[in-house]
Amino acid sequence: MKQQTSYTVLYGDDSIVVLNKRSGLLVAADRYDPDAPRLDTAASDEFGKLYAVHRIDKDTSGIVIYARTAEAHRVLSLQFQNREVEKVYHALVNGRPAWQSLHVDLKLIPDGDARHRTVVNKREGKSAVTDFTLLGVCPPYSWIEARPETGRTHQIRAHLAANGLGIVCDPLYSGNQKPVRLSEIKRSWNGDPDDERPLLARLALHAYRLTVTHPETGERMTFTAPYQRDMDAVRKQLTKLYGTDPLTAGTAAD
């Protein structure tokens, strides 16, 4: 497994490449910001031309799969289009939901307000379905699993917001970009506040698992992306304090 500053290689062959990207990278070219750092560009030195078959938000970390040939691109794109791909995300949210599981079927329209957010629009929106599961509570946060059936822009964030929940460090949908600091979650912390660095200061949303059918062999394959270092640091600290680990809690739901 080759470690890069922008990504980690989870799997690769002549047809596909599966990467675990850091937060802050676009998956492919963006019309709003053509000069923004991109994962496909960063990985092209190692793999050559890559064909994007799906997208995850720039600020989301985790699994991205690319095709390496035009035929693989066609086959994989159809799988995403036909909802044959299983996607699992993990998120750390502010507060505690009143439910253990939640099925959300709310139509969404991108760029639906002055802040360019995706918003619920039952009349003009496109079908969007997400299933949520509560993985664990660690006040003042909760770990949530999201399984989107569709792939609308900002779908998970918009569906959570519509149900009164905001992902940690998401100023766009939660209105709260407050970072996670050890001093604020550990009562016995006695470090120097002036020298403290946040454990996590970016959107706490991670594309954790992806299941696809290999475009050439037809084999059903599941890939899992370990948390990035900042999100894993938060997980470890909250597990120590509250005994709730989203990685082990999630196995019961799979």
Q: Examine the residue annotation and report whether 230 is marked as an active-site residue of this protein.
A: no
Identify the residue whose tokens are 């910001």: 33
Q: Which of 81, 86, 15 is nearest to 48 (CA)?
A: 15
Q: How far apart are the first and last CA of the chain?
A: 25
Distance of alpha carbon 148 from alpha carbon 163, whole angstroms: 15
Running DSSP on this structure, what letter comes out for residue 227?
Answer: P
Catalytic residue among 40, 57, 170, 230: 57
Q: Which of 141, 133, 148, 170 is nearest to 58 (CA)?
A: 170
Running DSSP on this structure, what letter comes out for residue 210?
Answer: E
Strand partners, 70: none
Residues noted as catalytic: 57
